[in-house]
Amino acid sequence: MQLELPDNTLVVASHNQGKVREISALLAPLGFKVVSAGELDLPEPEETETTFEGNARLKAEAAMSASGLAALSDDSGLCVDALDGAPGIYSARWAGPAKNFAIAMRKVEDELIAAGATAPADRSAHFVCALCLSVPGRPSQVFTGRVHGEMLWPPKGEHGFGYDPVFKPDGHDITFGEMDPDAKHAMSHRALAFAQLVEALSPSGA
């Protein structure tokens, strides 16, 4: 579908500035004016769903209803195989009320050690990103991307946000935190979900 938005504006349904920056950078080639839910003082809905896709839909539709504008939400997180997929949809909550991801990264490492997952082969993980686009008068659409890799310790790199400094994607020798942002944008879970979104928004897309 071709997407025509009122005032060419798209609300990024997030109060996480790191996430807003990444999404804005990925949206830049599409030419939309991007405004965050935080800038509009929109309330943050309680994430009550049990999947990334469900929470993405909940957040996008809440932002669309509150703003009257098209909204794009992102629900993403880290799934560690040795921890039965944790922290998963609770990735942000592991960082506590202050969103301190140094604490969250330490907690993941402590849990891996407790599980006996010290060898690289036991430390596999993947990032998931579910994007939901909600446009007034249209059905919401969800796009999901995943990137697989390995958990490292100690944290390395100052780029990105969240768990990036302890995640090394497959096929690379450095963490997301060490990567140049453009390099990460080219292959991250969020980039893979965005590629599906862009395809759907193209004239020949769904």
- Write the pLDDT tens digit of every residue in 86-133: 999 999 999 999 999 999 999 999 999 999 999 999 999 999 999 999
Query: Tens digits of per-residue pLDDT, 177-186?
Result: 999 988 998 8
User: Can 75 be counted among the known catalytic residues?
Assistant: yes
pLDDT band at 205 (very low <50, low <70, confident <90, very high): very low
Radius of gyration in angstroms for the set of CA atoms belonging to the chain, rounded to a whole number: 17
Size (the chain), residues: 206
**CATH level 3 topology of 6-201:** Maf protein (3.90.950)
* 9-12, strands of its sheet edge to edge: 33-36, 9-12, 70-80, 124-134, 141-151, 167-169
pTM of the model: 0.87
Residue 202 has pLDDT above 70, yes or no: no
Q: What one-letter code names the amino acid at 35?
A: V
Q: What is the mean pLDDT of the chain?
A: 91
Q: What span, in angstroms and rounded, lies between the C-alpha atoms of 10 and 71?
A: 6
Choose between 24 and 119: higher pLDDT: 119
Q: What span, in angstroms and rounded, lies between the C-alpha atoms of 155 and 131?
A: 27
Per-domain residue ranges for the chain?
6-201
Residue 6 has pLDDT above 80, yes or no: no
The one catalytic residue in 7, 75, 170, 180 is 75
